[in-house]
Amino acid sequence: MNIVQQQKCFGGRQIRYQHDSRTLNCSMQFSVFLPPQAEQGPVPAVYWLSGLTCTDENFSSKAGAQRVAAELGLALIIPDTSPRGEGVADDAEGAYDLGLGAGFYVNATQAPWSSHYRMYDYVLSELPALVESELPLNGKRAISGHSMGGHGALVLALRNPGRFVSVSAFAPISNPTDCPWGHKALSAYLGEDRAAWAEYDASLLLKAKGSSLPMLVDQGDADNFLAEQLKPEALQAAANESSAKLELRLQPGYDHSYYFIASFIEDHLRFHAEYLG
């Protein structure tokens, strides 16, 4: 882990790191906020997964999460959204919803994506192992994310019981097997086997397996992507059918932007802090 830059922030440190990822077969950057309590001993962490077109810097610079994280003694771990660098495949037409910035938090099985696009394993295993060995973290984890990142957070939490103590999301892609973004990404990365797609669909996972994990989801009702891409009603139906502990809040007048995230990030961090102790 090499420090790219760091700043003092609310008594803690906002740090950007670079490292060579074996999982993704490329050099990666990620950001970390360490609260002031980390100077005294290990702290719990909230992992944040960003959405389409984002890097690790969008959340750290726009969400305003550090003030509350510093108060609560929470570290924030913020990975990038895809592998990067020379030789990493990208969409031939430069589309925003496939390739660079659009890893969808899956393990790709199809060429040319399978050489690098293994964001699921990266977020689940490699990144936590790295930061927990090098930084003052106590091994307690929660996970959250926005849009594509909300999809990733829900899938990672639902598929790995016990790995995270809680999960939350802002405007997640809740049912990617039934929306244009999901069809495009999952068919490219995983091929046409819809059974493989289902392993990365939070609504299908929740319906099939249930979950005892505390879940909080916020969705703006003025979100341009709500009806066609996000489908929170599918997630709610799955939760109802499986008796899962989902709190889904429809927020009047809010859209898909970071203004929406900044408005409710404090609620999400306090929600996670309750379970992180």
User: Hey, which residues are catalytic here?
Assistant: 147, 223, 256
Amino acid symbol at 269: L
- Backbone φ, ψ for residue 27 (5° rounding): -85, 135
Please enumerate in sequence order all residues whose Cβ is within 8 A of that of 67, keeping only pairs 6 or more positions apart, or say none: 10
In the block, residue with structure tokens 């909080």: 216
Q: How far apart are CA 165 and CA 276, in angstroms?
A: 7
Q: How far apart are CA 19 and CA 207, in angstroms?
A: 37
In the block, residue with structure tokens 């003030």: 67
**Cα–Cα distances in Å, from 255 out to 188, 223, 260?**
28, 4, 6
Among candidates 106, 116, 115, which has minimal Cα distance to 190? Answer: 106
CB 213 within 8 A of CB 157: yes
Residues β-bridged to residue 99: 102
Residues 163, 165, 169: CA angle, nearest 5 degrees = 100
Classify residue 76 as exposed, middle or buried by CB count within 10 Å of its CB (0-12, 13-18, 19+). Answer: buried
Q: How far apart are CA 32 and CA 15, in angstroms?
A: 5
In the block, residue with structure tokens 């390739």: 99
What is the maximum alpha-carbon separation in the chain?
Answer: 51
Three-class SS of residue 207?
helix
